[in-house]
Amino acid sequence: MINRRLFDHYGIDTHKDLRIKSRCARPYDTVLIDKQGSCYACECTAWLPQSIGNLQIKSLAEIVGSDMHRHLQGSIADGTYRYCNNRQCTYIKKNIFKQAAGGIRHLRLAIDDSCNLRCPSCRKKLIFHKEGSAHRLGIRLADRINEWLYDHDGPIQVHIGSDGDPFASHVYRHFMEQTPERDNIKYSILTNGLMFKEFHTRVPYVMQNLNELGVSIDGASKETYEKLRLGGRWDKINENLESIADAKRKHGFKFILYFVVQKDNHHEMDDMLALGERYGADRVNFSLIEDWGVLPDFESKLPPLEDRGFKEMLERCGRSELGNTWVYS
């Protein structure tokens, strides 16, 4: 059943017809799973907020291809995109669509929000589950996902780290330690990097099949980094970046640095490129700070978007070999 209240919350008109001729691949090849076990046929719940099933109630095999899943796919096939948030979806706004390859190819895990940092732009308090109901549910979800992966024969990429930190989270550690050793499964990890050196050797199979490792830093100096990454230490992140560079040389994965541009760090964008070059990053992604509802004075945290000097720096970073600007805007 379509959750009308949810669509009203996001301001999505479910009677619209966008008349899009291209078919977005995500409702066909992507499943995102949140910390309650709800599954979505998109990489962002705000873009297509209707759940296609819950992993606490049904297996992933039952959810994929369910009536609701096919119903949402039908809204893409007929070109209406009536359940999609066309005001927020980057792909609709930029008219960027890829062709579906057939079957689920991307599994995006958001099953635990535990993190060893308390970044002001992300959360108001430290969230860390190593016991209790949230931890137990996360472990159950991880096990059910691994059960599905054991039976899945096609190529698939598992994306870990859209909510908590994969190396700090006990749930994600458990998932990676128990994941099936099969060559059809590849991994993409987004982390703050502070526990990489300590933990990555415990999941050798994940490292061998790692396609991409992203590290969010948001600062290219001790002062800025420790101000924006509360709980992090500049010496420790550099130590871990060196370990990541070594692991990249060994395993050959793509290494990306992420930098959320805001008032307190925009002056270090050039320095961030230099840091990326120093540690052998393949790319440095600059994205504009977003309002996640945790900053009461969000507007004051924006960089000087109309400042001439800032625009020149943004253009310069975008032209560099490593820089990729406004990734999510």
**CATH for 151:** 3.20.20.70
pLDDT at 275: 97
pLDDT at 129: 85
pLDDT at 212: 98
pLDDT at 20: 95
Q: What is the pLDDT along the chain (329 residues), one digit of tens a residue?
A: 899 999 999 999 999 999 999 999 999 999 999 999 999 999 999 999 999 999 999 999 999 999 999 999 999 999 999 999 999 998 999 898 887 777 999 999 999 999 999 888 888 787 878 888 999 999 999 999 999 999 999 999 999 998 899 999 999 999 999 999 999 999 999 999 999 999 999 999 999 999 999 999 999 999 999 999 999 999 999 999 999 999 999 999 999 999 999 999 999 999 999 999 999 999 999 999 988 888 888 999 999 999 999 999 999 998 999 988 876 54
CA distances from 165 to 170, 233, 302 (A): 10, 16, 25
Secondary structure of residue 306 in the 3-state scheme: coil
**Rounded Cα gap, residues 136 and 177, in angstroms:** 16
pLDDT at 258: 96
pLDDT at 120: 84
pLDDT at 292: 81
Same domain, 116 and 71: no
pLDDT at 29: 96
Same domain, 90 and 133: no
pLDDT at 267: 96
Q: Strand 30-34 to strand 38-40: parallel, antiparallel, or no bridges (unpaired)?
A: antiparallel
Same domain, 79 and 176: no
pLDDT at 328: 52
Same domain, 165 and 311: yes
End-to-end distance of the chain based on CA atoms, in angstroms?
32
pLDDT at 175: 97
Same domain, 176 and 248: yes
**One-letter amino acid for residue 147 of the chain:** E
Under 8 Å CB-to-CB from 315, ≥6 apart: which residues? none
Residue range of the domain that includes 7: 1-99
Same domain, 258 and 323: yes
Same domain, 124 and 91: no
CA distances from 329 to 89, 108, 267, 290, 298 (A): 10, 20, 20, 9, 16
Same domain, 158 and 289: yes
